[in-house]
Amino acid sequence: MRPPDRSLTRLLAGWLPRQRWFGGKDSPIDELTIDTSTELVPGDPGLHHLVLDVRQNTTTDHYQLLLGIRRHLPERLRPHQIGQFAGDTPGYLYDAAHDPELARPLLTHMARETTVGPLRFRHTPGADIRTDLDGTPVTAEQSNTSLVFGGTYICKLFRRLSPGVNPDLEVNLALSREGCTHVPAVHGWIEMEPPDGAGGEPITLALLSEFLRTGTDGWRLALTSVRDWFAQPEPLHAPPGSPAAPPGPAGALTVGDAAAAGGDFAAEAERLGAATAQVHRDLAAAFGVTRAAADDLRAMARGMAAQLDRVGAAVPELRPHAPAIRAVFDRLAASDDPLPVQRVHGDYHLGQVMRTESGWVLLDFEGEPARTPAERRAPAHPLRDVAGMLRSFEYAARFLLAGGDEMPPESADVLERRAQVWAERNRAAFCAGYAAAGGPDPAAHTALVRAFELDKAVYEVRYEARNRPSWLPVPLRSLERLAGGQRSIE
């Protein structure tokens, strides 16, 4: 049971832009074609694996879809309906990632290491994958879709496909071989042969890993701490002249106030910094360390400036900050000091870490969604990851202020100061833990960290403008302070 290709492509072209994981929401689809269609489960319900080629302007992106087909669609699956088709055997099309009955065969294929058409299902040596578990999608917003199987495994389907081995699979396998305790165990994966005649590595479609039963993601923990801090009715004034009392009007909130408030996150931030340093050491052991010459540093700064130009042209709100940001990149380009570079996480923030009963675990080494595959796998200085996490503390602190333009100015000022104090305390704790565990001390590389932070903030502006416009004020609110040199990592 399957609709004609022309009917299917028309339905997909209307459905695809409404999906959270679709990366081209800012442009219309010029052409959508089905590159491959592989039947995984025949009959009713049926399951087909599709690779879609989506052309927008001059760019073609590739997406994968688990297409479910049923003659009668249960009510629980109606929110995931793609459309209906008529003919001799009419039926419904839907996103089968939300159908536990059709997700289960993925485990069976990985356990048996089967090959179906261009698809190859693999498991790690010695893995004994259970095949009797239903898969339920994770509800959090993300650029991929993750299925949890019975609280035992989590399978990440890479919706937007890139050539070659996905860095998330590559890095997790390498870290597992190094005995790294801060990443989940890999159990299996799904890959696809490259197009005819293309050669090269297989394309990673999915990654099956250990599900962290006791884990809570860092973003949620941080927001809980921020809410507790915002809810404090009165400042607990630090003694005048103490290190916790920065310059400011009498009665201003201080870092010391945040330390005394309930739900303080600083101890966890420090432990997260230490875990990050340990993972960086394991990455260096697995992939090696090289030295980036002065020419490489200048090329990196030019890349930062080029991104600034592109984003400034597309997002007018960024333009007032551009001259100050460019001056920071220019100073970086003028440096003659070679930098050690290695594989890093590449998209490091509080949503990419989980706190379990045994400590912090790092997830999602796929890299930033808007970067090219080569950029995601390129070596970088480990402080780029540190800067990403520092930006994430700023995000967490100001996320609850999104839409705050409707507040009275005095209320907005108070909450902005509270956000600043929370971010400063947790940034400092993270950096202290990172340096104490052997990572390069951020306080000794302030110019480099600042350049990385600004580059990340510009990236955030582009990402939010394209994907979540309502979040755009979050990076913009802290950008003025970053560009003006008023931020501190101490």
Q: Which of 76, 96, 116 is a domain's end point?
A: 96
pLDDT score, position 481: 78
What does the alpha-carbon distance between residue 339 and residue 451 come to, in Å, rounded to a whole number?
14
- What integer pLDDT is reported at residue 248 of this predicted model? 42
Please report which helix (H) or strand (E) contains residue 205, including its range. strand 203-210
The enclosing domain of 229 has a CATH number of 3.90.1200.10
Number of folded domains in the chain? Answer: 3
Tell me the average pLDDT across 145-153. Answer: 95
The rounded distance, in Å, linking the Cα atoms of 124 and 118 is: 20
pLDDT the model gives residue 16: 96
Residue 123 domain flag: yes
- Predicted confidence at residue 244, as pLDDT, reads 42
Is position 108 within any domain? yes
User: pLDDT tens across 424-434, in order?
Assistant: 999 999 999 99
Sheet bearing 119-123, strands edge to edge: 115-116, 119-123, 186-192, 203-210, 153-157, 145-149, 135-137
Per-residue pLDDT band at 467 (split at 50, 70, 90):
confident
| Whether residue 87 sits in one domain with residue 114 | no
Cα end-to-end span (Å), the chain: 63
pLDDT at residue 89 in the model: 73
Task: Pick the more confident residue, 349 or 247.
Answer: 349
Task: Establish if 302 belongs to a structural domain.
Answer: yes
Answer yes or no: do 230 and 325 share one domain.
Answer: yes
pLDDT value at position 86? 77
Q: Are residues 196 and 295 in the same domain?
A: no
Task: Give the CATH number for residue 153.
Answer: 3.30.200
* Pair 155, 88 in one domain: no
Indicate if 224 and 204 belong to the same structural domain.
Answer: no
Q: Are residues 234 and 199 in the same domain?
A: no
Give yes or no: residues 76 and 143 share one domain: no
Q: pLDDT band at 374, cuts 50/70/90?
A: confident
Which tokens is 434 given?
Answer: 């990172």
Q: Is the pLDDT of residue 251 over 70?
A: no
Mean pLDDT of 367-386: 88
- As given in the structure block, the two tokens for residue 383 are 């402080």
pLDDT, position 432? 98
Residue pair 66/96 in contact (Cβ under 8 Å)? The answer is yes
490 within some domain: no
| Mean per-residue pLDDT over the chain, rounded | 88
Q: Identity (one letter) of the amino acid at 101?
A: E
Structural domain contains residue 279: yes
Is residue 169 a part of any domain in this protein?
yes
DSSP one-letter string for 392-450 = HHHHHHHHTTTTGGGS-HHHHHHHHHHHHHHHHHHHHHHHHHHHHTTSPPGGG-HHHHH
CA distance 429 to 420: 14
User: Residue 247 above 90 pLDDT?
Assistant: no
Q: Would 489 be classed as within a structural domain?
A: no
What does the DSSP 8-state code read for residue 342? B
Q: What percent of the chain has pLDDT over 90?
A: 70
367 in a structural domain? yes
Same structural domain for residues 188 and 291? Answer: no
Q: What is the 3-state secondary structure (H, E, C) of 24-69?
A: CCCCCCCEEEEEEEEEEECCCCEEEEEEEEEEECCEEEEEEEEEEE
**Domain boundary residue among 210, 231, 260?**
210
For residue 330, the one-letter residue type is D
pLDDT single digits (tens) 329-370 = 999 999 888 899 999 999 999 999 999 999 999 999 988 877
HSE value, Cβ hemisphere, 13 Å, CA-based, for 244: 17
Q: How confident is the model at residue 237 (pLDDT cuts 50, 70, 90)?
A: very low
**What value does the mean pLDDT take over residues 12-33?**
92
φ, ψ of residue 269 to 5 degrees: the values are -60, -40
Which of 64, 96, 128 terminates a domain? The answer is 96
Q: What is the pTM of this model?
A: 0.83
Please state, in angstroms and rounded to a whole number, the distance separating the CA atoms of residues 319 and 309: 9
Which residues on adjacent β-strands are paired with residue 342? 380
Say whether both 124 and 78 belong to one domain.
Answer: no
Task: Give 267: exposed, middle or buried? Use CB within 10 Å, 0-12, 13-18, 19+.
Answer: exposed
What was the pLDDT predicted at 276?
Answer: 98
- Are 59 and 83 in a shared domain? yes
In angstroms, the CA 303 to CA 327 distance is: 14
Rounded-to-integer distance, Cα 142 and Cα 293, Å: 36
**pLDDT digits 0-9 by tens, 181-231:** 999 999 999 999 987 656 688 999 999 999 999 899 999 999 999 999 998
Could you tell me if 331 and 445 lie in one domain?
yes
172 and 193 inside one domain = yes
| SS3 assignment, position 153 | strand
Domain that holds residue 331: 216-483
Q: Pick 490 or 93 by higher pLDDT.
A: 93
* Tens-place pLDDT, residues 112-147: 999 999 999 999 998 899 999 999 998 876 789 999
